[in-house]
Each structure stands twice: as structure tokens, then as C-alpha cells.
Structure 1
Amino acid sequence: MTTPTVHENGDKLRGVNLGGWLVLEKWITPSLFAGLKATDETSYCVELGEAEATRRLHQHWNTFITRDDFAWLRRAGVNAVRLPFGHWLFGKDYPYHRSYGEARHPFVVGGLDIVDKVFEWAGEFGLRVVLDLHAAPGCQNGFDNGGILGVCEWHTKEEYIEHSLDVLERLAERYGEHPALHGIQALNEPRWDIPTELLKRYTLEAYQRIRRHCPPERTTVVFHDGFRDFREYAGFLQEPAFRNVAIDIHRYQCFARDDIDMDIFGHIRKSAVDLRLEADEIIRESGYQVYCGEWSLGLDLKVVSLWAEGPFNHALEAMDEFQMAAAYRGYASAQLLTFEKYAGWFFWTYRTETTPEWSYRDCVEQGFIPDLGRTEQMAGIRAILDRARDLAA
């Protein structure tokens, strides 16, 4: 089976996630949660109340990522951003969930203005945008990044599913003509025990809703694998009836106990050998474009899940700074060499407050990840030298 490795209208995506911006995660921005019991965006807004949550989140939205960051991304050679957003993006029209308590509509209004700015800045600096429904009503995975920690009920009510589809279509209609729009992701990380047939039904409807406004020549429809083997989607959304579809996989090595107990050589081998073999298999057999939509250099579970239970051992805990720098460089290179096989990859995430191994900007500035902008400059110099040699000959 032949699978396209790049988007119909462009080159390979080398991108970052803009996590912790429009969907809060406590470990990304712990300062926002200081003094609160909240563990996710829902409990954050409920605990603070509308006025104070609005004040704090508007300040956060306007300062956490700005136009200057998009300029930096362009200079660093990044060509795409994946933008996680919550189902509340369009305002107070979402279904109620009991976690809201007495607040019928707890979420802060105004995030759509930020999305508009993202498209403005992406257009200015030549970046492409993948919109990602990261938090669905009722929560699709029970994670804090799904909006409600410890709850996974999105798939239990048709009104939750219907609202998700409505949000996707409204986004497709609003941004479908914008040249910076690259793709729309139907849902981020639905939990592994949600029935595959339900996810297929939802994703098919999402494809159809998005295609009303975004033709395949311009926009990729993306769906996450739902933490299951890609073969469960065999024959689903395939050409010629369906075009420009990508499957999204996420690859971390800090959550499963076998990975946590692995030394750095095991992590590098897994990245360079096991995940490479997996990549070859998915590309060869799936029939989709493939994105690695999330990966990082994080190996310490404690810093990413502030409420996780230990033990919190990890591969770098006994290393000095020199050894850690070498380890991060090797680990980053092994992952990048593998993920370059795919149609695109997106590091999680662009910026964090206290965890540099999860911050793309910190990783580039520390030299752990290559500066793609400098790489592009070197490629241009090499091309000029090659041309000069040809002329001299």
C-alpha cells in the first residue's frame, strides 16, 4: 500500500504544540494554580468564579504566547503549530456537566480572539496551523488535558458528541478559507476503552462536517489513534472516497513503568530502532499520512503529572549536568531521526514554566534539539558552494 508522506500542498511538517495556552495544564503553568485546589481548567474556572477566572486567563492568553514567539518559531525553522483548544471556544452554548456545580457556563469567554491572532501571526510568518479539539464536553480521556481530571464521559451522551461536531464545523467554516489552515483534528487522545466503532462513527461525521467548508486540496482531516493499534482502522476513511486524511500518534517514554525503569541507552535504542520499525510498518500498511502529534524529551514522570503516584525514578537522575546534556542530545536525535519518517511531527510543547525538557524553545536554546533555521541556512550555503563548484568545473 502506498501512502503519501507529505501533505498534498506542502512539505513535511516540523512543528510545536501550543499547549497550556487555551487548555490549561497545571504542570505547564504551575504559577496559575498557586494557592488553588484546582487540577484542570474546569475546576480552575469553577473555583475562581467568572470574574477572577476571566481576569487571570485573559492576562495569561495575552502574555504566555505572543507574536514575538511566532517570529522566534519562524527563525528557528519551525513551519507548523498544533493549537489545542477546548469545546467552550465559541462561548456559552455547551452542554452542562455536573463538575460545573452551580456554574452553568464556567469557562472564560474570549479564546476565539486568540485563535484569530494565531492565524494572523501564522500567516505573517508563513506557519501552518493544525486546530486540535483537545478537551471535549464530558472529557474524552479522564486526563487534566481533557478538561476534567478523573472523568471520561464524552462518549456516553449524544449531546456531548454533537456539540463536539458542531464546534469542528464552526471552526472549519470560520477558518476554511485562511491560507494558514493546514488541518483540523477531530479529537485529541480519546481513551483506549472507548469503542473503536463509536470513534469511527464520530470521525466519519467529523470528516463530513469539515469537508463542507474545507476541500481536501486545502485541509487535512486528522484523527488520533485512540491508543490502539492502527490496524483497528483498516479500510477506514481511505482513498478514493476520502482524501487527505492523517492519523495522529503520540509517543512518550515516561508514563509506562517499563519505560520509567529504562536507562538512557534503552530510551535511545527504543527511539532509533523500535519506533523506527514501527514507523516503517505504519507508513507501509495504514494508508494514511501519519503525524507524530506529540513527543518530548521528558523522562521524569513527577514533573509532568503533579498528582501521579511514585516511585519517580528516571534515566537521568544520577547524571551530572554534562552527562544530562549528552543524554538529551542523543535522545532528541534518535527521536527526530525516526519521526522524520512521518508526514509531520509536533513537539509537546512550545513553552513551559519549570520543565525545560518539555519546552521546545528551551531545548533548542540549550542545543538539545537542532536549530532548524540554522540548518536551513547551512543548506542554502551548501547549495551555493555546490553551484560554484559546478560553474568552476
Structure 2
Amino acid sequence: METHVNKLRGVNLGSWLLLEKWMVPSLFEGTQATDETTWCAELGAAAPERLRRHWNSFVTRDDFAWIAERGLNAVRIPVGHWIFGPDYPYHPSYGTARHPFVTGGIEVLDRAMDWAAEFGLKVMLDLHAAPGCQNGFDNGGIKDVCEWHTKAEYREHSLAVLERLAGRYRAAPALAAIEVLNEPRWDIPTDYLKAYNLAAYERIRRHCPAEKVAVVFHDGFRSYREYLGFMQAPEFRNVVFDLHRYQCFDRADIDSDIYAHLHKAAGDWRGEADAINAELGLPAICGEWSLGLDLKVVSLWAEGPYNHALEHMDDFQQHVANRGYAAAQLLSFEKYLGWFFWSYKTETTPAWSFRDCVARGWLPSSFR
């Protein structure tokens, strides 16, 4: 196994500063909303108090302490493009509200950076939702809309937010990385993404030196081979490649039994890690993974049927399967510069909740 020096072992703070309905269904009860954009637009004047209460309770200083106690050393924090408040470009999904999003998130992020520093955790800031939405997922801000790449003002605002984040936290001891865009969809042209990544690197480097802060880009759901020769040293320094690995969205995966899942995690993904490490010329991370095998619990959108590998197992077999699936993935992802479990906490889905997975013995109790 490769050296563990400076390896990032972390967890995502999902659905905190960027809501996802499947993770916090209680917040969405009684609304028609499918994502944070429509949630804010629908609730209007009632949104600020409800969302700020969530910000103040869903993740606290005690959670940062707990994360550090487990031996994790990093958190990835997803934010929306509205993190600084107005002014952001208008999108028709806002309806009559010019600026529907609740303000004050940046102060919560300030606090998070302080807590991370207090407990010795590194932070990867992640632009998870861009104007116009870059993927059509609820986590991109607007479900079923993917227009980020269609307007220059959307691109420019994304870059401006990255530069403001870099400028604001350039001296923050916890800041280790900024991810320029989470999960841009597979049909956005690779050349468009590459040009955006280059522009984002330049904006971030105006404030954050390569010795201190990595610039991270996501694979955009395409092969790492499309990025061979891209953003290489010495011209580019401390660039990191991000990939996300799940086995519950593709029909072939959904129809697999647990042995096939384990084989893919410990076999295919190990081979992929070896190939990326050998060929790409950039360090890589697995920025999202989970124990989730049941599509139904995450999807307010996916087509059934919702069969999955664990459905006919008894409790003991499910327990062993979860432990095995966790271990198989960890052994593969340890080959990278690091990994971040998705997510720290959910309301109703234990396989996606780091706290629940540790409590149930599916994940190790210590990552030291």
C-alpha cells in the first residue's frame, strides 16, 4: 500500500450549506420543492429563519470535534454559487424573486473554517451548485435543468465566486483545496470544461499559492484519459483530479449481487486507481463514495424498479455485506491522494451517513 503521509481521509458536509431533499426530508415537508432553489422560491419570507436554524444545528463545532476524534483529517464542504449573497444571475426557476436565496451562509462557512483550524482538519471548498445548474441534479441547485454552460454570465459568476472564496480564505490555516465545479454533466463539452478549469486555476492562484492550496477539478463523468496531458507541471502546480464512485445509479450495478459489488470495488476500482496513478500525471482523490446500494432512498427522480443486492438478506448478512463493501472501497481509494465519504450525516439513510456507518460497525471507528 502506498505511503499514508499527507493522505486526505475525510467526509463531505453534504446538505448543510446546500440542501438535498433526500438527505433532509424533514426540511421539505409540506412543500412542493425539489431542491434549494425551489425551496427558497416557494417559502419566500419564511425561508431565512428555517434555513438559518438548519445551518446552526445540522453541523456544529461538536461535529468537527467528533470528526477529528475519529482520526479523519479533512472535510469537503459543498456550497452554492449564492454563498456570498446577491448579486448572482437570474434564472427563470426563481420565479418572481430576483434573489431567492437566503443570505448569511458565508458567515456559517467562516465559522466552519475556524472550527476546522481548531481541530486540525483540512478543508476542501467545493462549488457544488453553479448558476443555471451544471448537471440537472438537485445537488446542482435546480433539478432537471442543465444550462450552466449555455450562458457566459453563468460561467463568469462561477469564476467570480471561486476568486472571492480564494481571496477570503487565503490566510485561513485550514484551507487545503478549492474544487472548481462539482459533477458537471457528461454532455457538457470537454473543451468547455477544460477552458473553465484553466480559468478557475488562474483566478484561485491570484490569491492562493500552490504550496498551500490545491486546485481540484472533477472528471465530469468521463474517462480520465480525456485529461491526459492536461494541467501538468511545471506550468500548473498542486492540481488534483476528482472522481466520484457509486454503485447504485447504473442499471447493471443495481442488478448486481453483493459479490459483484465487492469485485467491482476491490478489483475494477483498484485497477482504475493504478491506471490513473500511472498515466494521468496528477494526484487523484475519490471525492464522493458511500455504502449506498439502494437507489430508492436517494432518488426522488430515478426510474424503478428499485431492486438491490441486500434486499433478501437477513440482518446479519446485511451487516457483513456493508462491512465488506466499505472495506473493499477503502482499500481501493487508499491508493489515491485521499477520499471523502458522502456524507457526514443524513436523516433517514444510514448507508449514506458516516455517523451511522461508524455507529453500526460498517466503517472503522478509527481512521488513524
TM-score > 0.5 by shorter chain: yes
Q: Which residue of the partner structure matches residue 299 of structure 2?
A: 305
Q: Which residue of the partner structure matches residue 72 of structure 1?
A: 66
Aligned with 1:372: secondary structure? coil
Cα distance change on mapping 1:343 and 1:5 into 2, 3 Å: farther
1:355-383 deviations in whole A, cap 9, x for unaligned?
0100011101111011225xx3xxxxxxx
Shift of 1:234: 1.7
Confirm whether residue 173 of structure 1 aligns to residue 167 of structure 2.
yes
Cα distance change on mapping 1:127 and 1:175 into 2, 3 Å: same
Confirm whether residue 163 of structure 1 aligns to residue 157 of structure 2.
yes
Distance 2:121 2:205 in 1: 22
Q: 2:236 pairs with 223, 238, 242, which one?
A: 242
Q: Which residue of the partner structure matches residue 320 of structure 1?
A: 314
Aligned with 2:276: secondary structure? helix
Q: Which residue of the partner structure matches residue 120 of structure 2?
A: 126
Q: Give the structure with higher Rg (CA).
A: 1
Shift of 1:11: 0.6
Distance 1:151 1:234 in 2: 30
Q: How does 1:144-293 map to 2 (within 5 A)?
A: 144-293=138-287
Return 251-260 or 173-182, whichever deviates more. Answer: 173-182
Distance 1:273 1:235 in 2: 26
Distance 2:321 2:19 in 1: 30
Q: Which residue of the partner structure matches residue 24 of structure 2?
A: 29
Confirm whether residue 346 of structure 1 aligns to residue 340 of structure 2.
yes
Distance 1:307 1:144 in 2: 9
Confirm whether residue 365 of structure 1 aligns to residue 345 of structure 2.
no
Shift of 1:327: 0.4
Q: Which residue of the partner structure matches residue 45 of structure 1?
A: 40
Shift of 1:5: 7.9
Taking structure 2 as the reference length, the TM-score comes to 0.98
1:333-359 deviations in whole A, cap 9, x for unaligned?
000000000001000000000001000
| Contact 1:130–1:182 (Cα < 8 Å) also in 2 | yes
Confirm whether residue 330 of structure 1 aligns to residue 324 of structure 2.
yes
Aligned with 2:48: secondary structure? helix
Distance 1:232 1:310 in 2: 32
Q: Which residue of the partner structure matches residue 288 of structure 2?
A: 294
Unaligned runs of 5+ in 2: none
Distance 1:33 1:307 in 2: 15
Shift of 1:236: 1.2
Distance 2:312 2:162 in 1: 46
Shift of 1:133: 0.2
Distance 1:88 1:128 in 2: 23
Q: Which residue of the partner structure matches residue 388 of structure 1?
A: none
Q: 2:106 pairs with 96, 112, 129, which one?
A: 112
Q: CA RMSD, aligned part only?
A: 1.1
Q: Which residue of the partner structure matches residue 20 of structure 1?
A: 15
Q: Which residue of the partner structure matches residue 97 of structure 1?
A: 91
Q: 1:87 pairs with 62, 81, 88, which one?
A: 81
- Output the amino acid matched with 2:182: N
Aligned with 2:323: secondary structure? helix
Distance 2:88 2:224 in 1: 31
Query: How many residue pairs align between the two structures?
Result: 367
Taking structure 1 as the reference length, the TM-score comes to 0.92
Q: Which residue of the partner structure matches residue 356 of structure 1?
A: 350
Distance 1:307 1:32 in 2: 18
Return 262-271 or 303-312, whichever deviates more. Answer: 303-312
